[in-house]
Structure 1
Amino acid sequence: MSDSRRHIRDEVVGIPPYNSGLTLREVQERYHPAAIAKLGSNENPLGASEHAMVSSTELRDLFRLYPDPKGRALCEALAERFGSKAPDIILGNGSEDLIAVVCRAVVRPGDVVTTLYPSFPLHEDYAVLMGGKVERIEILPDFSVDMAALEAAARRKPRMILFANPMNPVGTWIGKGDFELFLDAVDPDTLLVIDEAYAEYAYGEDYPATLDILRASNKSWIVLRTFSKAYGLAGLRIGFGIASSPELLDFLNRVRTPFNTNAIAQAAAIAALGDEEHLKRTVTLALSERARVSDALKLRDIKVAPSKGNFVFFDCGMDASVFAEKLLIAGVIVKPWKQAGYTRFVRVSIGSVVENDQFLSALDTNARGRD
């Protein structure tokens, strides 16, 4: 048998496979549960807006023709929503596609990329694939962001700072005052990338209006958003970035594939963006159920991180993969965390009331033992 590894770059060999979780079909075929609660990928239990359903007559041309490579209609709708200009917006095959685009365009071998930890693994993986060196700023024991360490890292002028706010998987966040102090420490030569995949669930007095703050600065930045979470379009893979200048996006556009977002996704995103009532229902359900699930876990003496996402991060008291397997037997899919130092932690998505009840019941029946 030939050694395929000899053809592969060392950076690729060192990247662990992404834990994308099990599908409904895989769980059904393996465990045969009566019902499945898919709570591992932070999907929207209400699904997409009915307005985002593309008609069969529209589908014919959307299937047949190449999409607008710049997604101009969607970019214009986004510009109106976020007070930007269409040339400041870039689309991606989900926001994770744009993380890869940014890293390919910016990160050189040996460059330092600073991120919060534990992290969305692709924040680290794409930087490493380009030969970058990841600097982790680990959360404090109370799950809060170590702002002193983050500001100190910014003053060291890394090539790029990339993190999620709210953090994925933890759910904690950087508030307005802390964000402003941090931004003062960022050097203009550092590219700042803020992943706001869960921002719709986080709005409030203690969550920053990031774009307003960034626009008033002299820094180079990109804010990433997605339609996969609160808008319920995960299966269509559509995300976007808003940047500090059209010039910066011009270079990023040279790196992405020309047709990286499909026509159906673009059309559905425009429709979803216009249905504010559906978004409100989605967020209201998530916030109410997030509080209920968090409280229920605390009543069971489980250590839970505060969260502004549509998920909860908690210490399950055993190897997280073993814990997750016990829940799978009861038809509940959660995400065991596998990054070093957090392998006893699980991220559970906030689903419907029924799904969350199924999780709590399975927790008591199947997974309360300790190793």
Structure 2
Amino acid sequence: MAANPTILRPELTNLAPYNAGLTLAEVAARKGVTRVAKLGSNENPAGTDPAVVDALENAMRSIGAYPDPVGRNLVARLAEKHGWPQDKFVLGNGSEDLLAVLARAVLRPGDKVVTLYPSFPLHEDYARLMGAEVIRIGLDAEGMIDLPALLDAVAKPVRLVLFANPMNPAGVWLQPADLRRVLAAVHPEAITCVDEAYHEYASGPDYVSAEEQLATYARPLVILRTFSKAWGLAGLRIGYAMTNSDQLRQGFDLARTPFNVNLMAQIAAEAALDHPDAVDRAVALVRIERTRVAKAISDMGMRVLPSRGNFLFFDAGQPSSMIAERLLDHGVIVKPWRQEGYESWLRVSIGSIMDNDQFLMALARIREAAIG
């Protein structure tokens, strides 16, 4: 009998399923686990603001109808918030949905995409799915973004420059002057997308959003934001893009699905925008705890990179999958990194004080057991 022919696109052979992490229920079912600290997905430990929950309850009577396909009410709110025209926004089923839409809209087989490394895997996967070639720009010996290499790469005639600022998983970021240098160096034929999923956690004198460039930047620019992190809406999946390009805005509409953001997500995001104080409180806690947890990891003798996200990236000095598995025995979920060159690194989200204490105690016990 002849072998079954391959029915999948060849680009899929180079991809791996996205590691979405374990659920609370899966870890709670493990023997000996009495409490779970979920620190693998960069969620807001404060959860969803109660006012958002109230808005969702009031909206339940409307779920029998399709949502606004372009989210006019929410887009109007976002335009007001950012001071940018409504027709330059597009909503997505999470910001990673918009990454996929952007790839479908602009990438062709053989195109080159510059991105930072280690990366959010979907930055690379969606590009490869379209047949594009990914050019990785790694960290330097100090664990910071290799700025000279990045400047050199983006100045070449590539199709897309795509990177997160701050980076995920590394947490490091481009200083304001460096971000401006990178954007200025981008080749005239290239499209630039800056993923700012962790923008709320990064604000300060040593960070600036690419948003400041939208009004004056001469080349196509896209900035991605999400309600999943600081805004506490991860379960509803909603993000958005801002662009300075009419062509890109049209391309997003042509390449996305017609109703890609559901009614409840739109309503929740509007309600969340009414209560930015909830975000301020959540971010304030993360900043304090991020410093404390980073020092504790460092005091255990492990290298931890500086971070402007709601997470830390550290080198355990042992296979990360093994450390993550042992942490599960203590009810702690973290994300072991598996990209080449970072197999001993883990990303841990900054959670509540109790969650962070549980993680640090578990990590210390694992370290002590390994040394003893």
Q: TM-score range by the shorter chain?
A: over 0.9
Range 200-209 or range 348-357, more displaced:
200-209
In structure 2, C-alpha distance between the alignment counterparts of 1:201 and 1:58, rounded to whole Å: 30
**In structure 2, what is the Cα distance between the partners aligned to 1:367 and 1:302?**
10
Alignment-derived partner of residue 349 in structure 1 = 349
The Cα shift of 1:210 comes to 1.6
Cα distance in 2 for residues equivalent to 1:174 and 1:160: 18
- Higher mean Cα deviation, 192-201 or 244-253? 244-253
Q: How does 1:288-367 map to 2 (within 5 A)?
A: 288-367=288-367
Task: Give distance in 2, aligned partners of 1:75 and 1:283.
Answer: 24
Q: Which residue of 2 aligns with 1:285?
A: 285
TM-aligned CA deviation for residue 3 of structure 1: 6.6
Q: Is the 8 A contact 1:330 1:366 kept in 2?
A: no
Query: Following TM superposition, by how much is the alpha carbon of 1:367 offset from its aligned partner in structure 2, in angstroms?
Result: 4.5
TM-score w.r.t. length of structure 2: 0.97
1:134-172 superposed Cα distances (whole Å, 9 cap, x missing partner): 000001121111111111001112100001000000000
Call closer, same or farther: CA 1:365–1:240 in 2, change over 3 Å. same
Alignment-mate amino acid for residue 90 of structure 2 = I
Q: Is the alpha carbon distance of 1:370 and 1:288 closer, same or farther for their aligned partners in structure 2, counting shifts above 3 Å?
A: same
Distance 1:30 1:137, change over 3 A: same
The one-letter code matched in structure 2 to 1:307 is: S
2:42–2:350 CA contact under 8 A, matched in 1: yes
Equivalences for residues 204-223 of structure 1 within 5 A = 204-223=204-223
Q: CA RMSD in A?
A: 1.5
User: Does the 8 Å contact 2:56/2:267 carry over to 1?
Assistant: no
CA contact (8 A) 2:300 2:364 kept: no
Local SS of the residue matching 1:347: strand
Correspondence for 1:183: 183
| 2:28 equivalent in structure 1 | 28
Matched, 1:58 2:55: no
**Secondary structure of the corresponding residue to residue 339 of structure 1:** coil
Amino acid at match of 2:276: E
Q: Determine if the alignment matches structure 1 residue 95 to structure 2 residue 92.
A: no
Q: Partner letter of residue 81 of structure 1?
A: K
Partner of 1:254: 254
Q: Which amino acid aligns with 2:311?
A: F
Once structures 1 and 2 are overlaid, which stretch shifts more, 201-210 or 191-200? 201-210
Residue 237 of structure 2 is matched in structure 1 by: 237
Shift of 1:48: 1.4
Counterparts of 2:196 and 2:4 in 1: how far apart (Å)?
Answer: 38
Secondary structure of 2:293's partner? helix
**More displaced stretch, 281-290 vs 184-193:** 184-193
Distance 2:297 2:27 in 1: 24
User: Which AA in structure 2 matches 1:152?
Assistant: D
**1:245 CA drift (Å):** 2.4
Matched residue SS, 2:125: helix
Query: Deviations along 1:269-292, whole A, 9 cap, x unmatched?
Result: 011112111011010000000000
TM-score normalised according to structure 1 size: 0.97
Shift of the 57–108 alpha-carbon distance from structure 1 to 2, 3 Å rule, reads same
Query: Cα distance, 1:55 vs. partner?
Result: 4.6
By how many angstroms is 1:9 displaced? 1.1
Contact map agreement 1:161 1:192 (CA 8 A) in 2: yes
Match of 2:109 in 1: 109
Task: Tell me whether 1:267 sits opposite 2:267 in the alignment.
Answer: yes
Q: Which runs of 5 or more residues in structure 1 are unaligned?
A: none
Shift of 1:368: 4.6
Identity percentage of aligned residues: 48
**In 2: Cα distance, 1:84 partner to 1:2 partner:** 59
- For 1:2 and 1:58, how far apart are their aligned partners in 2? 55
Is the Cα–Cα contact under 8 Å of residues 31 and 331 in structure 1 kept in the other structure? no
Query: How much has 1:14 moved relative to structure 2?
Result: 1.5
Structure 1 stretches of 4+ with a deviation exceeding 6 A read 1-5
Q: Distance in 2 between matches of 1:242 and 1:368?
A: 48
Checking the alignment, whether the CA contact within 8 Å between 1:294 and 1:312 is kept in structure 2 is yes
Flag the 1:26–1:80 CA change in 2: closer, same or farther, 3 A.
same
Correspondences of 1:71-86 after superposition (within 5 Å): 71-86=71-86
Instruction: State the SS of the aligned residue for 1:122.
Output: helix
